[in-house]
Structure 1
Amino acid sequence: MRTPVFFFTAAPPYAAPPTVQDTLRQLWVFALRPKLPRREHKVVETKLPLILQLALIETVLQTLLFIALALVFSAAGADYLPTGYARAFSANLSFFPVFVMAVLLAPLTEELVFRLPLVYSRSFIVVAVLSFSICYGPVLAQAAGAPAWLVAAGALLLVILLGGYLWSRKWQASMYLLWKRRFGLVFYTSTVLFGLLHLLNYQRSALPLALLLLLLLPKLVGGVFLGYTRLRLGMGWAVALHMYHNLMVLLLLFGYMARV
């Protein structure tokens, strides 16, 4: 008895995994002129090799940037990480709570705020705004020393603006056109805001503003990698890459503290 034809399915065509050279070239082109890249769907053949390559490339770049910044800070006579910040960061904290906060929660929250809405969607915008307001609004208000009435007024204004956006088709159409026609502006605005948010890590630092801004360079580089990963591979892969990066930093900090 012959097997019915409908039991046969054609095997998908084999796609060779991307080379490191191709990944570097595509990443460079994207960084110069951000636009929505072709979304990958094959996990084993494309996504896994690509995420490993991106992690490797970012690790190398961040290491070189770390060395360069350490030399600049040394020439300026200022302490660079981990000499000052690491000691204050991990002196009285055990590894596990810092791991949960820095490796699990922070990457998820930051990706929801800064990378999720890179693909335009009304629901993505709402999730990003609410996540930012809940997770970072109180911290920013405290850092700025804002009085309670100003915080309440800001929250009310945010609710009004968000409601207007959800109600008005004109606002939604304008936002969609902004994403479509000025995606580079949207991408780098998100990346810069992601970097500036990390100034909260140095609230008690006595470093000059110029050196503080230099400390944001690794965050800006990481933001480009995470944004590219989110757009080409998907949100979950960007969260995973962010967790990997934070885990490496955390291990280095605690490893350094174990020796001093």
Structure 2
Amino acid sequence: MKSPSFRQEFAEFFRYIRRPVLAPRKPCRGGGNGWWKDWVPSTSFGRMLQWAACLWIINIFVFAPIALTVANKTGAAHRIDINNIPFLMAALWAPVVEELLFRYCLRRPQLSLWLIPVMTSVVIMGPVLQSIVLLLLVLMLIVMLDVWQLTTNEHALKWSWRVHYQKFFPLVFHGSVLVFAGLHLWNFRLNEMNWWLMPLLVLPQWFTGMVLGWMRVRDGIGTSIAMHMIFNSGPVFLVWFLLQFSPELAAT
């Protein structure tokens, strides 16, 4: 089956976010049985790079100017020091833990009662020994549950629960995106700014979260994690390059 062009995928994405549905993964996108189908990225690196470039362009030229204008007018200041960015945390740690927290349960809602609280604690602790061990235990347990489900032919949700979940899935999908974007308000010192202006500061994360959520549902958690890593790595590499070869430009 021929893969769609990027333009076709872009149109597919906008159709999806108007009415998100919990549809089966397509065969050409890694659909089928086996826990590895969810974890092995099914979108090519080149296509993910296209999506990352698209997000960088939209965020830089559309959403970032709005966020910067609001920040300048309200006195909100960014907490992150450009000269002391935790590169590995941004490019490796954050994509894994944030995808497990905000998007893994979109397809595994029965795990949300324990996975979301555990991953919330992992996010709060940051990349320390205790949280790393906890994250590895979570990954092992998730795989074991998936293998058990396949070997016993058990459905993740009873039919009646699946019907209700699919009915409310658009609210779940967009709610997870809003919470994901809201988490990034922590990156700012808000200085008592009006609450209704706060969402404008995280418009880039909101739009990026919709793309990652769509990829998680369509392709699997492995694709959304890989896409998140690529997306975060671009700005991180750019900052590193500026600090190494043009520090006076990075300071402006």
Question: CA contact under 8 A between 1:114 and 1:194: conserved in structure 2?
Answer: yes
Provide the rounded CA distance (Å) in 2 between the counterparts of 1:206 and 1:251: 30
- Say if 1:178 and 1:58 are closer, same or farther in 2 by CA, change over 3 A: farther
Q: Is the radius of gyration larger for structure 1 or structure 2?
A: 1
For residue 206 of structure 1, the aligned residue among 165, 180, 191 is 191
Give the deviation of 1:54 after TM superposition. Answer: 2.7
- Say if 1:22 and 1:125 are closer, same or farther in 2 by CA, change over 3 A: farther
Question: CA contact under 8 A between 1:41 and 1:233: conserved in structure 2?
Answer: no
Question: CA contact under 8 A between 2:67 and 2:201: conserved in structure 1?
Answer: no
Deviations 1:155-212 (A, max 9, x none): xxxxxxxxxxxxxxxxx7686444221110010111111111111111x343723543
SS in 2 for 1:228: helix
Query: Could you tell me which amino acid in structure 2 is paired with residue 60 of structure 1?
Result: I
For residue 99 of structure 1, the aligned residue among 71, 78, 87 is 87
Residue 56 of structure 2 corresponds to 59
Residue 35 of structure 1 corresponds to 21
TM-score (norm 2): 0.67
Query: Could you tell me which amino acid in structure 2 is paired with residue 212 of structure 1?
Result: M
- Say if 1:20 and 1:241 are closer, same or farther in 2 by CA, change over 3 A: same
Provide the rounded CA distance (Å) in 2 between the counterparts of 1:26 and 1:51: 15
Residue 173 of structure 2 corresponds to 187
SS in 2 for 1:47: coil
Provide the rounded CA distance (Å) in 2 between the counterparts of 1:255 and 1:104: 18
SS in 1 for 2:177: helix
Provide the rounded CA distance (Å) in 1 between the counterparts of 2:78 and 2:107: 35
Query: Could you tell me which amino acid in structure 1 is paired with residue 177 of structure 2?
Result: T
- Say if 1:253 and 1:66 are closer, same or farther in 2 by CA, change over 3 A: farther
Question: CA contact under 8 A between 1:192 and 1:220: conserved in structure 2?
Answer: yes
Give me the CA root mean square deviation: 3.1
In structure 2, runs of 5+ residues without a counterpart are 31-41, 127-156
Give the deviation of 1:66 after TM superposition. Answer: 4.2
Deviations 1:197-242 (A, max 9, x none): 111111x343723543211111110110000111111111101111
Residue 216 of structure 1 corresponds to 202
Provide the rounded CA distance (Å) in 1 between the counterparts of 2:161 and 2:108: 8
Query: Could you tell me which amino acid in structure 1 is paired with residue 17 of structure 2?
Result: A
Residue 110 of structure 2 corresponds to 122
1:47-86 aligned at under 5 Å gives the runs 47-48=43-44, 50-66=47-63, 68-69=65-66, 72-73=69-70, 77=73, 85=78
Which structure carries more relative contact order (alpha carbon 8 Å, separation 6+)?
2
Query: Would you say how many aligned residue pairs link Structure 1 and Structure 2?
Result: 202
In structure 1, runs of 5+ residues without a counterpart are 1-14, 140-171
